[in-house]
Amino acid sequence: MSIRRSRPLGRRLSVVLAVLGLTALCALWIYPFLWLVSASFKGPLEMFQKGLNLMPDAFDWGNYTRAWQDGGFSTYMLNTFLVTSGTVILVIFHCSLSGYVLGRYEFIGRKTVIGVLAATFVIPLGFTIIPIVDLSRNLGLLNSHAGIILALGGSGQAAAILLYAGFFSRIPKEVEEAAIVDGAGFLRIFFSIMLPLAGPVTATVAVLSFLAAWNSFLVPLVFTFGNPNLRTLAVGMLAFVGTNETDWSGMAAAATLSLVPVVTFFFLVQKYFVEGVAGAIKS
């Protein structure tokens, strides 16, 4: 930042103060997670006796077995994985197809489609949940993972479509002209040239829809009223504390279990996520 070699004392002091302030803020920010992990290893009594001490006496894995087996979190985990991967695949499938033609071709109705997509950008899922449940019930999709996946992957994907459209519109024309000369048809051009080129966009869309699906709550909640075995982690968590109100360490273990996959995933793909979010705001 500073070009001058010798920084004045005031500047150095302010850097130290800023770093100290930020450290305190970040400690506060991640404290709930530290507390959670610590509580998940504490014995049920230790939980209340040790007060603020974060270090457990011994690492008690019993809380995890209790949440995993008795609490039903093994089922919830599997369900969440199914719903999340199904949603990610559905979103990539339909958004890459429509983004491709919207970004690359002029056809009758193109402007209408883009206009309608852009107009519904700000409508949150919560406002349309009653018709969605009604529709899913009529289609026989209520109380099923397929119904949750369709509702999650089928609504509010304007951003992903426009992300694909923007990328495909910037690919030079020569790329597909060369392919046409080689005799490739519409489908071959898309599947063996265009879609592989769009790898970075697919990565961003996959990451964003993974997090959205994993963290979704309202749709899985109202879609699983009739069948608790289909609950996802977020829905299961609410049910768990509803029936085990005093089991703090069991709650902590269950919450840690639910958060570990998504946090791990985030650290693995942080780059794509930050790029995707930052790219969206700039455009």
Partner 1 sequence: MARTAPMGSRTQLVQQLWRDRYIYLFLLPSTALFALYTLWPIGVSIYFSMLDWSGFEQAGRFIGFANYKELANDRLFWNAFRNTVTFMVLAVPLRVGLALLLAILLNQALPFSRVFRTAIFLPVVTTAAILGVVMRFILDPTSGPVNLALLQSGILDQPVNFLGQSGVALYTAVGVWVWKWLGITLIYWLAALQTVPKDLYEAARIDGASGWQRIVYITLPLLTPFTIIITLITVVEATNVFDLMLTLTNGGPFYATEVIDIFVYRQAFASNTPRLGYASAASLFFGICVIALALLQLIILRRIRQKPAETE
Q: How far is the CB of 14 from partner 1 (least distance, A)?
A: 9
Q: How far is the CB of 79 from partner 1 (least distance, A)?
A: 14
Considering beta carbons, is residue 57 or 134 the nearer one to partner 1?
Answer: 134
Q: How far is the CB of 265 from partner 1 (least distance, A)?
A: 8
Considering beta carbons, is residue 79 or 98 the nearer one to partner 1?
Answer: 98
Considering beta carbons, is residue 52 or 181 the nearer one to partner 1?
Answer: 52
Considering beta carbons, is residue 69 or 246 the nearer one to partner 1?
Answer: 246
Radius of gyration of the chain measured on its C-alpha atoms: 24
The secondary structure of the chain as a DSSP string is ---SSS--HHHHHHHHHHHHHHHHHHHHHHHHHHHHHHHHHS-TTHHHHSTT--S-SS--THHHHIIIIIT-HHHHHHHHHHHHHHHHHHHHHHHHHHHHHHHH---TTHHHHHHHHHHTTT--GGGGHHHHHHHHHHTT-TTSHHHHHHHHHHSS-HHHHHHHHHHHHTS-HHHHHHHHHTT--HHHIIIIIIHHHTHHHHHHHHHHHHHHHHT--HHHHHHSTT-GGG--HHHHHHHHHHH-TT-HHHHHHHHHHHHHHHHHHHHHHHHHHHHHHHHHHH-
Residue 244 has φ and ψ, to the nearest 5°, of -125, 60
Considering beta carbons, is residue 36 or 203 the nearer one to partner 1?
Answer: 36
Considering beta carbons, is residue 62 or 244 the nearer one to partner 1?
Answer: 244
Residue 13 has φ and ψ, to the nearest 5°, of -60, -40
Q: How far is the CB of 59 from partner 1 (least distance, A)?
A: 19
Q: How far is the CB of 2 from partner 1 (least distance, A)?
A: 9
Q: How far is the CB of 231 from partner 1 (least distance, A)?
A: 11
Considering beta carbons, is residue 146 or 234 the nearer one to partner 1?
Answer: 234
Tokens 């961003």 sit on residue: 204
Considering beta carbons, is residue 5 or 282 the nearer one to partner 1?
Answer: 282
Q: How far is the CB of 137 from partner 1 (least distance, A)?
A: 5
- Hey, what are 257's tokens? 């279990």
Tokens 């979704």 sit on residue: 216
Number of Cβ within a 10 Å radius of residue 144: 17
Q: How far is the CB of 228 from partner 1 (least distance, A)?
A: 15
